[in-house]
Amino acid sequence: MKTDRNYILKMKTRIALFTLMLIILAACGNEPGSVDALISSGNLEGIRTKKKELTEQRRSLEREIALLDSAISANDENRKLPLVTTFEAKQAAFDHYIELQGDVTTKQNVLIYPEMAGTLLKVYIAEGDPVVKGQLLASIDDGGMKSQLQQMKTQLELAKTTFERQERLWEQKVGSEIQYLQAKTSYEAQDNAVKQMESQLSKYSIRAPFSGVIDDVIKDQGTVVSPGQGSEVFRIVNLSNMYIEVNVPETYISTITPGKMVKVYFPVLGETIDSKVRQTGNFINPDNRSFTVEIPVPNKGRNIKPNLTAKVQINDYRNDAAILIPQSVISENSEGEQYAFVVSGINGENIAKANKNIIKTGKTQGDYVEVLEGINNGDNIIEEGARAVKDGQEVKILQQS
């Protein structure tokens, strides 16, 4: 019986539309003020009046057709509803990162120069050898200074013995004070001379200034070396104390601070490591309006080298209770407002009403957008099929997640 009523309603609608069209055609063709007659008369004012009259008739007809369509839709149990899928908006922690590029560097990457001139007698290490701070790397011909030092030490022993004897005699009130003072002065002077000679002699030994790896042996054994530019002997690098220096735009000066989380990716190695901002610069570069940030890099495998290119993602924002939705469900109207469809009133047959919610968005990370206004925790948002939905329209939900 319901099907029969729907059929009768549709037929009545069609008859009404046909009747209205006949009335309009009859009015246009038979009345003295018909379109053809007006055009033939050339009466511009009459033509405009007739156009206005027909326009009003058309609008009235369209309103009636819309009402009839609504009635059909409301009474037709076999009507086709848009098919959609939905998901529930939930609060979640949201971290936003800015992506920058920098180079790996180290503050312990230095060239080692000789302090004294002479022939490089012995090189004790090779390229790639690990060394510790103070380790002997090479020795330079001292020109007989070791022999001189040995003679000075012998003289020092004699001066020390003489001083100790004079000191004992002076304590016993034997001998003159001048003899005691002369012995003391002679001993102290000889001791200082020995220490000075030892200091000079130590400069003929080249030692590691810090622990690291010998990256390059520049001068070979037997080469004559001397202090100054162009006479470097070794390059030593510490691969443990590595860091990345990046230039960050000044707009992030208040959000990127020491301790912020950082993800570091090395394209050449295909590796990603986690780190933190160690230091931020206190100077804005006027050329590019940026400040520097230091990010330490752990290098247990020793495969990270100075000047290696790295991509860094620095955390500049966090929201522990953010509403996140995919970018694909967001649309924009002609006024530039963003919106998404939210369903409500879901019945037992998974039929619900779609509502267009104007939203305000925040930051974007990957495929997801932070929603600041317009969507609440627990709202059901249309994901697939949103493009075919109109505001206030009923929809059929195929799947909820």
Alpha-carbon distance 38 to 252, whole Å?
A: 72
Helices and strands: H and E segment counts in the chain = 5, 22
| Confidence check: pLDDT of 3 > 50 | no
Per the DSSP assignment, residues forming a β-bridge with 100 are 312
Nearest by Cα to 84 from 401, 383, 372: 383
Specify the range with the lowest mean pLDDT, choosing from 141-150, 256-265, 376-385.
141-150
Task: Supply the pLDDT for residue 68.
Answer: 75
Average pLDDT over residues 207-228: 89
| Confidence check: pLDDT of 270 > 60 | yes
| pLDDT confidence tier of residue 30, bands split at 50, 70 and 90 | very low
Alpha-carbon distance 365 to 150, whole Å?
A: 73
Task: Supply the pLDDT for residue 298.
Answer: 87
| Spatial CB neighbours of 399, under 8 Å, sequence gap ≥ 6 | 85, 86
Tell me if 200 sits within 8 A of 148, measured CB to CB. Answer: no
| Confidence check: pLDDT of 19 > 70 | no
| pLDDT confidence tier of residue 74, bands split at 50, 70 and 90 | low
Average pLDDT over residues 203-219: 90
Using left for φ > 0, alpha for ψ between -120 and 50, and beta otherwise, residue 219 falls in beta
Helix (H, G, I), strand (E, B) or coil at 399: strand
| pLDDT confidence tier of residue 6, bands split at 50, 70 and 90 | low
Q: How far apart are the first and last CA of the chain?
A: 38
Q: Which residue carries 């009335």 as its tokens?
A: 23
Amino acid at 395: V
Q: What are the CA-CA distances from residue 154 to residues 91, 181, 198, 200 (Å)?
A: 84, 21, 14, 18
Amino acid at 360: K
Q: Which residue carries 């493009």 as its tokens?
A: 387
Task: Supply the pLDDT for residue 309.
Answer: 93
* pLDDT-above-70 percentage for the chain: 89
Residues in the chain: 401
Helices in 31-43 by DSSP H: which ranges? Answer: 35-41
Alpha-carbon distance 99 to 376, whole Å?
A: 30
Per the DSSP assignment, residues forming a β-bridge with 291 are 248
Q: H or E stretch including 50? A: helix 44-75
For residue 346, the Cα-to-chain-centroid distance in whole angstroms is 41
Q: What are the CA-CA distances from residue 253 to residues 37, 64, 72, 196, 293 (Å)?
A: 78, 62, 62, 52, 10
| Confidence check: pLDDT of 25 > 70 | no
Specify the range with the lowest mean pLDDT, choosing from 10-24, 68-82, 350-364.
10-24
Alpha-carbon distance 224 to 209, whole Å?
A: 22
Per the DSSP assignment, residues forming a β-bridge with 344 are 353
* Average pLDDT of the chain, as a whole number: 85
What crossing angle do the helices spanning 177-202 and 145-171 adopt, rounded to 10°?
Answer: 160
Task: Supply the pLDDT for residue 2.
Answer: 43
